[in-house]
Amino acid sequence: MNAPPRPAPGAVLPVLLSAGLLLTACGTGEDAPREQDGEDRAAAAEAVADDPVVTTYDGGLYVLDGQTLEVVGDIPLEGFNRINPAGDERHVLVSTSEGFQVLDAVGAELTDTLFPADSPGHVVRHAGRTVLFADGSGEITAFDTDALGGGLPETDVRTAEEAHHGVAVELAGGELLLTLGDEEERVGAVVLDAAGEEVARSEECPGVHGESTAEGGAVVIGCEDGVLIYQEGGFTKVDSPDGYGRIGNQAGGEESPIILGDYKTDPDAELERPERVALIDTRDAGLTLVDLPGSYTFRSLGRGPGGEALVLGTDGGLHVIDPEKGEVVDSIEVTDEWREPLEWQQPRPALFVRGGTAYVSDPATRRVHSLDLESGEVTASVTLEEAPNELSGVAP
């Protein structure tokens, strides 16, 4: 899940996570996820949306049919809610004040299945596992992605010694990569094996934030001065060309060994509006900066079916970058020009990519569009009653 950074003054030495994380049994006790009863699951099984797309608004969620963009569900839900793909073809996870709640997007129904979490944060899907990170407690909950359809999944829970705004990813071999830090400072990442023993550690990543995986299984973690790459049992630090060159949000996938990241250079800015993105090549630890026609936001990054890097710009264009060449090769006009609001919770255009289709929201016009990435044509549009904010959907 991509998100803006939280302030990290760094004045206090961090209490770092250790290999001795607590591994607890799941499905018991007051903090166990709540499960739907049989009647709820039967009702949720009815399909009302094909390849659904979900957007939040102030006061609820819209569920859209992914083909026609018809509104098939309008679900009232108070508070500032965030959404992420659960990783399967049916569900989306909604971060609420109580935790991660399961939305049956195909059935257009918010279920009663809840993973309780203190300040629910990042959701990561990789190698058939979904991992949830609770910022307020440091609790990490992992489960088989395809188990959501059968009701309450069996979970593995690990609790970090110090809570922080972090992220974790379970690797194909069963190792767990998670960030290091506390409420004051975030400094790096550690990898633990299935028994909780430390495999690798790096504390060379100030302000660590966000993650993405690349072709071949490499994992990239963002820092305020570059990135960390984890592969083949060890970390490699890649330095930014600037002393402060923050790469806090990334987009990757199995189609490319190159990760797309944002790139900011002003640590004192109230709100920096960057006009360059970073490309990190996990094959040789190379970092290339690409100039764009305008700025973009943390909701602007995506990847196409061939590994192309996609950036939704404030100039109204969806910019297509060839990651091997490191240059913009096409720009598709989608919206009018827009300006990023100062408050990160406020709506701004967002990008969600699934297969060969890019979905773009435009809160100024209350519209959502779908684009065919091969032809560059808009294939459907819808005007909503409320301005869309976050944009997501089920996995391909």
Domain coverage including residue 283: 89-100+109-351
Q: What is the DSSP pairing of strand 198-202 with strand 186-192?
A: antiparallel
Q: What is the pLDDT of residues 281-306, one digit of tens each?
A: 999 999 999 999 999 999 999 999 99
pTM of the model: 0.89
Q: Is residue 62 part of a domain?
A: no
Q: What is the pLDDT of residues 66-116, one digit of tens each?
A: 999 999 999 999 989 999 999 999 999 999 999 999 999 999 999 999 999
- Please choose, from the candidates 162, 157, 200, the residue with its C-alpha nearest in 3D space to the C-alpha of residue 181: 162
Query: What element of type H or E holds 38?
Result: helix 38-44
Q: Is the pLDDT of residue 126 over 90?
A: yes
Lowest mean pLDDT among 20-34, 163-177, 234-248: 20-34
Q: Is residue 269 part of a domain?
A: yes
Distance CA 62, CA 58 (A): 11
* Region at 307 (left for phi over 0; alpha for psi -120 to 50; beta for the rest): left
Report the pLDDT value the prediction gives residue 185, as an integer from 0 to 100: 96
Q: Is residue 74 part of a domain?
A: no
Distance CA 176, CA 191 (A): 6
Q: Is residue 70 part of a domain?
A: no
Q: Is residue 266 part of a domain?
A: yes
Query: Around Cβ 359, how many Cβ atoms within 10 Å?
Result: 23
Q: Is residue 3 part of a domain?
A: no
Residue 221 token pair: 């973690």
* Region at 87 (left for phi over 0; alpha for psi -120 to 50; beta for the rest): left
Over residues 362-378, mean pLDDT: 97
Output the domain CATH number for residue 284. Answer: 2.130.10.10
